[in-house]
Amino acid sequence: MAGAFAAPARFCGPAAHHCLTPMTIEKIDAVSVTTKANVYFDGKCVSHSLTKADGTKLSVGVVLPAQLTFNTGAPEIMECVAGACEYKLAGTDAWVKSSAGEKFNVPGNSSFDIRVTEAYHYICHFG
């Protein structure tokens, strides 16, 4: 039976804020890159802003071992490309693990706590 063992395109966990995708993005083509780094929390988080040809904004970065709180303006999708983290969305008590190939959604005008014990490499999709 062809396709009987094909992986689903994505699996979304509790409250659809945590998703597993079968592949992690390794390269982003056709983007404009802001060369000056965004440095937060005394260097514990460093990223670069990207703009795709269609105007879509995202950032690519790394969070080093720490426990931090980020505030959001626009909704964000945090996609782990390497390493791992635990996160806790505003208004929740549960820490949830996110590893390579997984994403989690953060509402706009909100916040989330992130706990990192090994370098967490990510793509942040805005909007």
2-33: per-residue pLDDT in tens? Answer: 333 233 344 444 444 566 544 567 889 999 99
pLDDT digits (tens, 9 = 90+) for 57-85: 999 999 999 999 999 999 999 999 999 99
pLDDT at position 101, please? 94
Torsion angle in degrees (nearest 10) through CA of 41, 14, 102, 83: 50
pLDDT at position 25, please? 76
CB 49 within 8 A of CB 57: yes
Look up the CATH architecture of domain 11-126: Sandwich (2.60)
Residue 83: how many other CB atoms lie within 10 Å: 19
Domain-wise residue ranges, the chain: 11-126
* Confidence band for 42, pLDDT divided at 50, 70 and 90: very high
90: three-class secondary structure by DSSP: coil
Three-state secondary structure of 5-33: CCCCCCEECHHHCEEECCCCCCCCCCEEE
* This model's pTM is above 0.85: no
